[in-house]
Structure 1
Amino acid sequence: MIGELVKLDLKVGTRGYVYPIYLLVALAYGLMVMAFPEGYRSVVVPIFLLLEPGLVGFMFVGTSIFAEKKDGTIGALAVTPLDWRAYILAKTLLMALVSLLAGALIFVLGTRSLDGLPYVLAGTVLVSAVYTLLGIAISAKYRDLDDYFVPLLGVMVLSLLPFAHYHGYLTGEIWKVLYAVPSYPSIYFFSAPFESVSTGVLLRSALGLVIWGILAYYFAKVRFYRYAVEGLR
């Protein structure tokens, strides 16, 4: 079931230019990273890696859902035995696979190196799954990108704040609350190719993203059924 849905989603997303554009954005990010002096890449690369599988993925999955609402793909979930939970998992799996290509493209093209690529790929899969599920959950209520823009902007700003804290720009005790933002643990994976990050920190970061993924899946399951499936009946 999930395999068939992945194929269908890939076909629809390719026909609508969602996934090709996604990879073109990754190519553009990789070229932009190349333009920075080598000394800045330890800061720039993690930001672009989060932007692509995380925030750009969050936007694109919403765009994909809007398109599928309009062409009737999601409407079929309300009138056929098709398992809508499998639909959510299939979209998450496909976005993770596409994000792997995008993350590898940004890192390898931008740094011209394979050193540390496994850390990048691990972080990419985890953060992509979290933000895809959050994107499904939040976009399920809306009909187009105009309505989705405000929550998209809010998620983008909140997700970039941990970089300011990580690099010492937000130093007050109150800013420790940013550890709870899912983008924070991804920073350790994306920074590992450039600086020493302990195995313990990476394991805790992975656990944090897995917990976020479970919560985001539950959130997506409830809201997608309420607004995208049941709402179309």
Structure 2
Amino acid sequence: MMGNIIRTNIVLGVRSYVYPIYILIGLAYGLMLMMFPERYLPTLVPIFILFEPGLVGFMFVGTEIFAEKKDGAIGALSVTPIDWRGYIAAKTLIMSLLSVIGAVLIMAVGTRSLEGISYVITGAFLVSVVYTLLGIGISAKYHDLDDYFVPIMGVLIVSLLPFAHYHGYLRGEIWKVLYLIPSYPGIYFFTAPFEEVSTNALMWSAVALLLWAGVAYYIAKIRFYRYAVEGLR
């Protein structure tokens, strides 16, 4: 059953050009990074990688949800034997794998190196799982991109704040609350190819992202069933 759901999602994603465009964005980011001097890459590459698995994925999964609502594919989940939880899992897995491909393209093209790529792959996958699930849960209530625009901008702004704190631009004890944002643990994975990051920091970052994945799945499960499958407003 899961295999059928995954194949169907891939066919729909390719046919609607969502998945090819998603990968092309990763390539475009890599080409953009080639224009910057090498000394800027340790700062810019992590930001670009976060955009690919996290923020772009958050937007694209919402776009897919809207399209499948209009096609009646999601509404059919309430009257077919297809498990809507399997639908969420399949969508998350596909988007996360696409994010890994995009992140590898950013590294390979933008830095002309794959040194430390294992950190990037791990971080991209975990961050994408979190943001895809959040995207499914939040977008389930909306019906088009215009309504979804405000949540996208809110997530974008909040998710970029940890970079300002990480690089010392936001000082003071109050800003330590930014550690709770899921993009923060992702920073450690994305900067590991460029600077020394302790194993302990990477381990706790993975734990934080796994905890966030659990929270995001709970949000997605509740809201997707209520607003997308049942069609409540």
1:230 CA drift (Å): 1.0
| Equivalent residues of 2:75, 2:231 under 8 A apart | no
How far 1:231 sits from its partner (Å)? 1.3
Instruction: Detail structure 1 runs of 4+ shifted over 3 Å in the superposition.
Output: none
Asked whether the equivalents of residues 186 and 205 of structure 2 are also in contact (C-alpha less than 8 Å), the reply is: yes
Q: Structure 1 residue 156: deviation in Å? A: 0.4
Contact 2:75 2:230 in 1 (8 A): no
- The alpha carbon displacement at 1:12 in A equals 0.3
Q: 5 Å matches for 1:12-51?
A: 12-51=12-51
Residue 180 of structure 1, CA deviation: 0.1
Aligned equivalents of 1:36 and 1:185: distance in 2?
A: 25
Q: Which residue identity is paired with 2:77?
A: L
Return the alpha-carbon distance in structure 2 between the equivalents of residues 88 and 111 of structure 1: 34
Aligned-pair CA distance for 1:4: 1.4
Task: Quote the Cα distance in structure 2 between the aligned partners of 1:222 and 1:61.
Answer: 17
Aligned residue number for residue 92 of structure 1: 92
Q: Counterpart of 1:35 in 2: which secondary structure?
A: coil
RMSD: 0.7
Correspondence for 2:80: 80
Distance 2:123 2:63 in 1: 23
Q: Does 1:171 align with 2:171?
A: yes
Aligned to 1:147: 147
**1:18-71, CA deviations, whole angstroms, 9 ceiling, x for partnerless residues?**
001111111110001111100000000000000000000000000011011111
Asked if 1:112 corresponds to 2:112, the answer is yes
CA distances 1:132-186 after superposition (whole Å, capped 9, x unpaired): 0000000000000000000110000000000000000000111100000000000
- Count of aligned residue pairs for this structure pair: 232
Residue 128 in 1 paired to residue 160 in 2?
no
**Structure 2 residues not aligned, in runs of 5+:** none
How many angstroms apart in 2 are the aligned matches of 1:23 and 1:170?
33
Alpha-carbon distance in 1 for matches of 2:226, 2:220: 10
Unaligned runs of 5+ in 1: none
Aligned to 2:63: 63
Asked whether 1:213 is paired with 2:222, we answer: no
Q: Which amino acid aligns with 1:15?
A: R
Letter aligned with residue 68 of structure 2: E
CA apart distance, 1:72: 1.4
| Distance across 2 between alignment mates of 1:36 and 1:198 | 28
2:29–2:106: 8 Å Cα contact kept in structure 1? yes
The alignment-based identity, stated in percent, is 68
2 CA distance for matches of 1:132 and 1:215? 12
* Matching residue of 1:137: 137
Distance in 1 between residues matched to 2:45 and 2:184, nearest whole Å = 15
